[in-house]
Chain A
Amino acid sequence: MNSPTHNDDRELRVSKIENGTVIDHVPGGQALKVLAILDIDGSGGETVSIGMNVPSEKLGRKDIVKVEGHELSQNEVDVISLIAPDASINIIREFDVVEKSRVDRPTSVTDVVACPNRNCITAQDEPVVSRFDVLDDGVRCVYCDTIVRDDLTDHIHTE
């Protein structure tokens, strides 16, 4: 009986949004990286709420990101899954959740991670875009085998 109320209280720590996206179950401390992936730094004027290190039964600590007026594209969801494999995406319209989904880790990502190997063919002036296979704990360049793990966010670019 107490549990739902308890959770509702937690949800209220960050205000509800009218239209946009709530990204829940982000690993604790990763919220700012999610915003970086979405290329949101506040300069665009979006209303953004972040809960960091909120107690979570599933993750121990989790982050929540709420972005007003922005519905995530599939490409953005794919990229977020790389750093937040357990995240759930809630699309909000007029204060209601109209769509709720878990992120689905793709087997590979194309043109979203820049290969840090300067000798990689994708880093040259060749007509080829980056492609990475997705591993359990990182990504691996299809062309030069470079594995990117801890500093993955630094190499992500979204259009």
Chain B
Amino acid sequence: MASEFVDVPLINAGDGAGHHPTQTLLDLYTIRENVGFEDLSIGIMGDLKYGRTVHSLSHALTKLDARQHFISPESLRLPRSVRYDLHEAGANVREHTEIEDVLSSLDVLYVTRIQRERFHDENEYRKVAGQYHITADLLERADDDLIVMHPLPRVDEIAPEVDETTHAKYFQQAHNGVPVRMALLDLLLRGETQ
């Protein structure tokens, strides 16, 4: 809506549970740095319903012909509008409830935070949170080159021990936010690519 009221370039810096396109730029940059886009298989896990970074990322991954595996409890599936867009765009999409079903086939595992406030029932939250918990043990079953990403902050969906593994790229990913957004601002202010 803001773009209807201003005549200067506008950057969406994340809108509620909608989209977060600048996060997607740095996510893509991180993926390209580490594994590249060719024949990419990515698992996106956690709160897919309210996770705005997921919504933007899935649109971009569709343009890159990536195989997208969405892993979430039934109650936190991708919203209808995103599923509609991906279907219309002919995206290569599968939905799962168990990470174990796809872990070994992934190049990238993109984990998002499951927020307690999304659940009416504390028990239900604990059940889901426990189920979507990445540990070093679990990653033993993954490809050696798998990278784990997360838009941060995390709660407890990735155990701190994972930070020490070669899989962990979420801090590098967060760092990439600075140069990528600098580049975006530069592009908008100067109006041309270098």
Spell out A's residues near B (CB within 8 Å).
Answer: 119, 121, 126, 128, 135, 140, 143-147
Contacts and interface: CB of A to CB of B under 8 A. Distances in A.
Contact of B81 (A119, A126, A128, A146): A146
A145 B81 contact: yes
Nearest to B85: A145
Interface of B: 1, 4, 16-18, 79-82, 84
A113 to B, nearest CB: 15
B18 A144 contact: yes
B79 A145 contact: yes
A149 to B, nearest CB: 8
A121 B157 CA distance: 31
Q: Identify the 4 closest CB pairs spanning chains A and B, nearest first.
A: A145-B81, A121-B1, A147-B80, A147-B81
Contacts of B4: 128
B1 A119 contact: no
Contacts of A128: 1, 4
A119 B16 CA distance: 9
A140 B81 contact: yes
Given A119-B17, A144-B18, 5 more contacts: A119-B16, A135-B84, A140-B81, A145-B79, A145-B82
B80 A126 contact: no
A135 to B, nearest CB: 8
B100 to A, nearest CB: 32
A147 B84 contact: yes
